[in-house]
Amino acid sequence: MVPRMLQLFLILHVLALPVQLCEIPRGNSALIKCLNTELLKLSQDLSEELNPSVYVALRLSADHSLKKEAQYLQRLRNVFQPSTSSSVAGGQQKQPNMGRLALYLLALRAACQDMETLLGRQLVTRLKYHLHKEKEQIAFKGSGRPITSYYQYSLGVLALCVHGKKIDPHVIQKLLNAEKHNKFAHGGKLSVDTTAMAGLAFACLEQANLYEPRLVAAISLAVQRVTDRILQAQTTTGTFGNIFSSPLAVQLLIATGMSKKPECPKGLDALLGSLEQGHFQNPMIMSQLLPVLDGKSYLDIAAMECRAERDTLELDTTCPGSRTVILGTKMITVLLAVEHPPSPETLYNHSIQVPSGSSLLDVLRTAAEEGAGQFTFETQNTLHGPLLTTVMGLKASNGERRYWQLLQAPDSSLQKGISDYQPQDGESIILKCSPW
């Protein structure tokens, strides 16, 4: 009898212990408000590329500047939803790709917009068409790969789901198959971003109450496997993969009720530490982080009512740090090399001098301007910043599943893009055409 009583006592003692939730510790409200203000400033900066993700973050925040948010939404509309008259006039305006369109639909739901209008239904139909074409590509000759990526595919599914739209079960099944066969990888490693986005899509579908029990059961299993992979991807420093993939990972943990897991507050501490140190400068990552600091995920968009909102956010908030980079007077030397396997030869290998504080993009521009070794490069604008697509006339394409990998010699992948990464004096950077 004593052992049973002791066992009962231990169980009650454990249940009485305080549970560490994935909540923001007190004393960080000013830090969060600064991030909120920085995103609001971005929404008013006409030189910045329009990004629906920034709008979504502002809408999910506890504090708002409703007038400025409305202004930004109108600018988004002008680009993503041109008027019927401009469409009839010849369709000159380029249509957004699937990822941008999906983010725009998230933005419209965050604004509580009526999608049962002609233009609203057209947007939904267009996104469904994109997903249909992606599904066909996955099935084409058993390639198992979409036209774009499983990240964008998952984002498209999530956008339709938060609007309460029923999605073709075959589209869902393709995403389930990809998860089951470990297709969410990049360079042979788990892509935390893709896995987290797919998890958010699965979590939304699981709650949708629109699908037959057998499909829902498969979705529920996928949610469990994906969250397990995210938890296993946590490093000793608390990040999931790296600090820049962690915001989406924590969003998934919040959305799936994993906030009581010890990994969640540990990840949140890592994010807060990096935010305080000014590591977050990329608008896309900043916009994925702000909802987390408000204890929310993209799934919360589905329940937004846009009523009784606090219109208290101002631009004059004094915040430490800035996204403005001031170049130093000291010149630094960066060693820049270009490799294109299987060729054993290094296509380019030169020392480039730039002011301290320069980005890798500045280094590439200087190399091209100096003409040493006939260095050339091209980029493509994305919402994550400029993407390196062509070097020395050699283009890396999705069709060949190759990309230009950014390495710190000899083989350490950079965690930032070319516009965000700042090389140090004497650092060796390698641009390597690699499979993904």
Lowest-pLDDT range of 90-94, 222-226, 316-320, 388-392: 90-94
Q: How confident is the model at residue 93 (pLDDT cuts 50, 70, 90)?
A: low
- pTM of the predicted protein model: 0.87
Identify the burial level of 156 via C-beta atoms within 10 angstroms of its C-beta, where 0-12 means exposed, 13-18 middle and 19 or more buried.
Answer: buried
Say whether 348 counts as a known binding-site residue: no
pLDDT for residue 11? 41
Give the Cα separation of 94 and 252 in Å (integer): 33
pLDDT for residue 335? 93
Q: How confident is the model at residue 141 (pLDDT cuts 50, 70, 90)?
A: low
Say whether 55 counts as a known binding-site residue: no
pLDDT for residue 302? 96
pLDDT for residue 12? 41
Q: How confident is the model at residue 382 (pLDDT cuts 50, 70, 90)?
A: confident
Say whether 131 counts as a known binding-site residue: no
pLDDT for 154-171, tens place per residue?
A: 999 999 999 999 999 999
Q: How confident is the model at residue 277 (pLDDT cuts 50, 70, 90)?
A: confident
State yes or no: pLDDT of 213 exceeds 80.
yes
Per-residue tokens: 91: 């369709």
pLDDT for residue 21? 63
Say whether 404 counts as a known binding-site residue: yes
Amino acid at 390: T
Identify the burial level of 219 via C-beta atoms within 10 angstroms of its C-beta, where 0-12 means exposed, 13-18 middle and 19 or more buried.
Answer: buried
Say whether 51 counts as a known binding-site residue: no
State yes or no: pLDDT of 86 exceeds 50.
no
State yes or no: pLDDT of 9 exceeds 80.
no
Report the percent of the chain where pLDDT is more than 90.
Answer: 67
Say whether 394 counts as a known binding-site residue: no
Say whether 143 counts as a known binding-site residue: no
Say whether 381 counts as a known binding-site residue: no
pLDDT for 341-350, tens place per residue?
A: 877 788 899 9
Say whether 288 counts as a known binding-site residue: yes
